[in-house]
Amino acid sequence: MISIQHISKSYKEVQAITDISLEVQKGELFGLIGPDGAGKTTLMRILMTLLIQDEGTATMNGFDVIKDYKKIRNMVGYMPGRFSLYQDLTVEENLNFFATVFKTTVAENYELIRDIYIQIEPFKNRLAGKLSGGMKQKLALSCALIHKPEILILDEPTTGVDAVSRKEFWEMLKNLQQKGITILVSTPYMDEATLCNRVALMQKGKVLDINTPRNLVDGYTRKLYAIRSNDMHCLILDLRSYEKTDSVYAFGQYLHVTGKDDEVEATEFENFLMKKNHENLEVFDIAPTIEDVFMNMMGKGDQLT
């Protein structure tokens, strides 16, 4: 449904994306996962025909993003990263405006947006600028859907959104997928990768890997330990000072730790830390998350001094 072949784009001397190729299947929920500066927005803007690539080709449902840009614009729904509806129009006026631009009516496609729009309909006479963050997001999604697009492109819809609203938003996306819409969504939250069918892990304009979340996690072959004690900050510092430690990263209430060459046993970490007088020490094997996978792939040269 979306086909991207060797796309590169630079802004003056800054190389935004380098030689990206990927395919999104019809009906797929595909995630671009990566931090700021990974090139997610640039790639989406090229697909949306808002930006022209320096090299490579891309098609959306068979249409070329340069030659057939008018066809693509009619076929795709887009929710940019910044809230870009008319703040001085009401909820209802915004929705009518987008329907009219696409030569349709709200009534004609109401079925598609009903589940989402119904939550903000009680506020339909409120100015869009006066809505809360969660409501703005629902309105933006409704407007992106009002012309019944075949493909939906969402640029970081959950950034700056609280944990509860993020969950609700992903439930809405799953429902839209059920209706046959192909969805390309970007996010800096690694945990959201598990909610996609497939993801591309991106960093600094490059794709590190493309796979299902399951395969990414299964492809992580390192020995990973979860470690905790009463003084977590001290624990981090002690583990970093241990010559057999390779990496130490905080993961909520535990640290995720790898040993040099993956040859360090749990008991070795335990014995070392016992000598440092850690209380309530726990060391056990743990399965990796997508974030472990991502960090393991990140180039060592990108780390801070």
Partner 1 sequence: MKEKVIEVRNLVKKFGSFVANDHLNFDVYQGEIFGFLGANGAGKTTAMKILCGLSSPTSGEAKVAGFDIYKETEKVKRNIGYMSQKFSLYEDLTVAENIRFFSGVYGISPADRKEKQDKLLKDLGLESAKDSLIGSLPLGWKQKLAFSVAIFHDPKIVFLDEPTGGVDPITRRKFWDLIYEASDRGITVFVTTHYMDEAEYCNRVSIMNAGRIEALDTPENLKKQYSAKNMDEVFLKIAR
Nearer to partner 1, 100 or 133 (CB): 133
In whole angstroms, give the CA distance from residue 264 to residue 292. 18
Nearer to partner 1, 125 or 253 (CB): 253
| AA letter at 167 | K
Rule CB under 8 A: is residue 122 a binding residue for partner 1? no
Rule CB under 8 A: is residue 86 a binding residue for partner 1? no
Rule CB under 8 A: is residue 281 a binding residue for partner 1? no
Rule CB under 8 A: is residue 258 a binding residue for partner 1? no
Stretch that binds partner 1, among 49-57, 105-113, 171-179, 245-253 (CB under 8 A): 245-253
Distance of closest approach, residue 203 Cβ to partner 1, in angstroms: 7
- Point out which residues pair with 201 in neighbouring strands: 33, 209
Rule CB under 8 A: is residue 279 a binding residue for partner 1? no
Rule CB under 8 A: is residue 280 a binding residue for partner 1? no
Stretch that binds partner 1, among 67-75, 91-99, 152-160, 176-184 (CB under 8 A): 152-160
Binding mask 158-197 for partner 1 (x = CB under 8 A): -xxxxxxxxx--------------------xxx-------
Q: Which of residues 88-107 bind partner 1 (CB under 8 A)?
A: none
Distance of closest approach, residue 168 Cβ to partner 1, in angstroms: 9
Instruction: Give the number of residues in contact with partner 1, rule: CB under 8 A.
Output: 37
Distance of closest approach, residue 299 Cβ to partner 1, in angstroms: 10
In whole angstroms, give the CA distance from residue 120 to residue 105. 18
Nearer to partner 1, 56 or 134 (CB): 134
Rule CB under 8 A: is residue 246 a binding residue for partner 1? no
Out of 26, 35, 115, 277, point to the residue binding partner 1 (CB under 8 A). Answer: 35
Cβ 249 vs Cβ 256: under 8 Å: yes
Q: Residues 6 or more apart from 31 whose CB is under 8 A from it?
A: 185, 186, 187, 192, 193, 195, 196, 198, 199, 200
Rule CB under 8 A: is residue 67 a binding residue for partner 1? no
Q: Please report how the helices 163-178 and 133-145 are oriented relative to each other, as an axis angle in degrees rounded to 10.
A: 10
Out of 82, 103, 233, 275, point to the residue binding partner 1 (CB under 8 A). Answer: 233
Out of 23, 133, 175, 274, point to the residue binding partner 1 (CB under 8 A). Answer: 133
Nearer to partner 1, 75 or 135 (CB): 135
Nearest alpha-carbon partner for 186 in 10, 21, 39, 295:
39
Rule CB under 8 A: is residue 304 a binding residue for partner 1? yes
Rule CB under 8 A: is residue 36 a binding residue for partner 1? yes
The site for partner 1 (CB under 8 A) is made up of 34-37, 132-134, 156, 159-167, 188-190, 203, 232-233, 236, 249-253, 291, 294-295, 298, 302-305
